[in-house]
Amino acid sequence: PPTIRKISERHDKVFVTGCLEPQVNGPRANAAFVVLARNKELDGVLQSIKSIERHFNRWFHYPYVFLNDGDFNSTFKEAVLNHTSAPVEWGKIEPEHWGFPDWVDEKVAKEGIAKQGDAAIMYGGMESYHHMCRFYSGFFYKHELLQKYKWYWRLEPEIKYFCDITYDPFIHMERENKVYGFTIAVKELKETVPNIFRYASAYKRLNNLTSQGLWEMFIEKPEEEEEGKAKLPKADPKYKKPLPEEILNSEPGAGGLPDIDPESMDGETYNMCHFWSNFEIAKLDWLRSKEYNDFFDMMDRSGGFWNERWGDAPIHSLAAGALLSVKDIHYFRDFGYRHTTIQHCPANAPARQLPRIPFLEMTTEDEEERKKEDEYWGHPDPVKENGVGCRCK
Ligand code: GDP
Ligand code: MN
């Protein structure tokens, strides 16, 4: 069962409370915004740039790296340059980083994609979307323009920030030894990732990785457990074995998913939870690590990016679950952020409110810890009093 941790052990306090003057003269991190986009998304891109410039980057001037599998046209480039004074770099994605790898049988993969279209799986029938998800899962950080950076902040078309961000999140991530930051965690559509967890879980087992507390965020919690009577199904020893060699080293066009009952794996089931990756601030060195790339390669070789419609969000999240610990993660609960229909509003997430994930429940000790913090800060609720919710519009 997940370990419930005290706030003091969580290392996840908000970086900054109270209204600040933007830290215009502070130190800067080696960081950039990363924007993957197409020319036709110009309007959405401008909306996002206007928003992040107004609420953050007009003071901080972090560079933008634009990436595209095609070429950005001059209309696109000029319009972007008209909306920021920060440096902008334009990158074209190499063919090896986008599309079908040579070990995949394209015909088989395309049939798989078409089937998902027929099944009305969200974006399932759209080949370019599969390429995009795979690119964001295992390739964007390999782009030559990103090599010089240590940190990235992902920016998508049609997003909105609605509170001023007056401190430098990169600097604070660095200072607090954080690896990955999120602002929204949601549940994935099951039909897009029916087998993703079997592989992620197999990776963890094959590499003898023991949970550092974060893995539990992604595990379905049986009802009984909530009532204090945990009764996980007994794992069938045959599922403790590594995945068959022929699947791990699958040949071109194989990409077949092995027949393992997900319900039987160590008694663990994926709860579909993931960090919503259209916003993320993370350390590139983690993505560049051998561990992350081994994870990606194994996931990739399964064929799940074509046979299913694995998103980069559950890929990043399950990799984090397998490789990182709770203290490596930062929840940017003070960022007002919206992408299409889902938003996160700091006013609804007071500074020390915890994300609703299993290992972050309040304990009695937490309540005491919280009281001590309140006394220290001198006010009971930094959001209501003078906190992170100010200057939101
Ligand atoms: P959604 O947020 O899941 O609905 O997906 P989006 O359509 O917003 O795509 C996610 C990100 O990938 C956005 O930044 C898009 O601009 C970008 N994107 C998606 N497909 C392509 C593509 O085929 N080429 C390029 N260059 N960018 C893409
Ligand atoms: Mn989007």
- Whether this model's ipTM surpasses 0.95 comes out as yes
366 lies in some domain: yes
Q: Establish if 223 belongs to a structural domain.
A: yes
Identify whether 290 is part of a domain.
yes
**199: closest CA among 149, 128, 157, 250?**
250
Burial class (CB in 10 A: 0-12, 13-18, 19+), 12: buried
Closest CA to 35 of 88, 84, 106: 88
Establish if 264 belongs to a structural domain.
Answer: yes
- Lining ligand 1 with CB less than 6 A are 36-38, 41, 68-69, 128-129, 132, 156-157, 278
Q: What is the pairing mode between strands 180-182 and 281-283?
A: antiparallel
Which pTM does this prediction carry?
0.84
**Closest atom of ligand 1 relative to the 41 alpha carbon:** 16
Cβ neighbours of residue 345 under 8 Å, at least 6 residues apart?
A: 162, 336, 392
Whether residue 351 lies inside any domain: the answer is: yes
Catalytic residue flag (residue 365)? no
DSSP 8-state code for residue 326: G
Domain count, the chain: 1
Q: Do 385 and 374 form a contact (C-beta atoms < 8 A)?
A: no
Query: Ligand 1 centre from 128 Cα, in Å?
Result: 8
CATH number at residue 154: 3.90.550.10
Fill in the amino acid letter for 367.
E
Q: Do residues 72 and 192 lie in contact, with contact meaning Cβ atoms separated by under 8 Å?
A: no
**391 in any annotated domain:** no
**In a domain? residue 165:** yes
Q: CA 299, 293, 200 angle in degrees (round to 5)?
A: 35
Question: At a CB cut-off of 8 Å and minimum separation 6, what does 97 contact?
Answer: 135, 139, 140, 142, 143
The reply to whether 2 falls in a domain is: no
Q: Is the pLDDT of residue 83 over 90?
A: yes
Contact 183, 313 (CB under 8 A): no
Taking the CA of residue 156 as reference, the ligand 1 atom at the shortest distance is 14
What pLDDT digit, counting tens, does each position of 88-111 carry? 999 999 999 999 999 999 999 999
pLDDT digits (tens, 9 = 90+) for 144-186: 999 999 999 999 999 999 888 989 999 999 999 999 999 888 8
Q: Please say if the pLDDT value at position 258 is more than 60.
A: no
3-class state of residue 201 by DSSP: helix
Q: Which residues have CB less than 5 Å away from ligand 2 (the ion)?
A: 156
Mean pLDDT taken over the chain: 81
Please name which of 305, 306, 302, 196 lies closest in space to residue 256, comparing C-alpha atoms: 302
Boundaries of domain holding 256: 7-386
What values do phi and psi take at 162, rounded to 5? -120, 15
